[in-house]
Each structure stands twice: as C-alpha cells, then as structure tokens.
Amino acid sequence: KQEVTQIPAALSVPEGENLVLNCSFTDSAIYNLQWFRQDPGKGLTSLLLIQSSQREQTSGRLNASLDKSSGRSTLYIAASQPGDSATYLCAVPSGTYKYIFGTGTRLKVLA
C-alpha cells in the first residue's frame, strides 16, 4: 500500500530564504509525481509534474526533483516571498488513475 509522507509538517521562514520541502513514498513503482499548492479554504493548483523518466522539473523559482530508487522528491523554493505562503502537497499515482496525497507542508513566509 502506497504511503506518502511530507516533512516538515509546518515551516515558518523570513522572506528571501531558500526552502526545501520533502516528500517520501513507500512504493517506488510510480510513473509520475506531482506537487500542488493549496491556499486556505481553496482547491489545489498543480505546480510541477515530474515523469518517472525525469529527475527534475523547474518552473520559475520552483524546482522539483525525483529519486524513484530512494522513494523521495524535493521541492525547492528559491527566494521565498510572502505570497508563497500556502500548503504544499505532493501526490503519486496509485494504480491507473488514483492519486495518493501526502500529508502536506504548511508554509508561512514572513515579510
């Protein structure tokens, strides 16, 4: 049974810091991994999708890496801003269509 864990559960940092959010999964037989952002009381926004054949994906200040063999992915946020404050979720496929979500990291960037 696939289990997805995210560390840390919560993070509070001053503006401008570079951050690393971690995601680990127990079953490495995945074909992709996604990182999402969720603002309070809102739905999810897909940030990055990494295919199993890729090692990383970049979008602006965000960089996500994937190491299937070790069951880990990291989301790197460069030069954090208050607008980055949100909950970040990673998710991996389970079976054909289902996604299993991690427990999330609640990020607060202080101005």
| Of 18-26, 38-46, 56-64, 68-76: span binding other proteins (CB under 8 A) | 38-46
Residues 4-33 that bind other proteins (CB under 8 A): 32
Strand, coil or helix: 82:
helix
Tell me the Ramachandran region of residue 95: left when phi exceeds 0, alpha when psi lies from -120 to 50, beta otherwise.
left
The CA distance from 1 to 50, in Å, is: 21
Q: Is residue 71 at the binding interface for other proteins, with CB under 8 A as the rule?
A: no
Q: Is residue 76 at the binding interface for other proteins, with CB under 8 A as the rule?
A: no
Q: Which of 11, 92, 102, 109 binds other proteins (CB under 8 A)?
A: 102
- Nearest 10 degrees: Cα torsion 102, 108, 109, 111: 170
Residues 49-68 that bind other proteins (CB under 8 A): 49, 51
DSSP secondary structure code for residue 9 in this structure? S
Residues that bind other proteins (CB under 8 A): 32, 34, 36, 41-46, 49, 51, 89, 97-104, 106
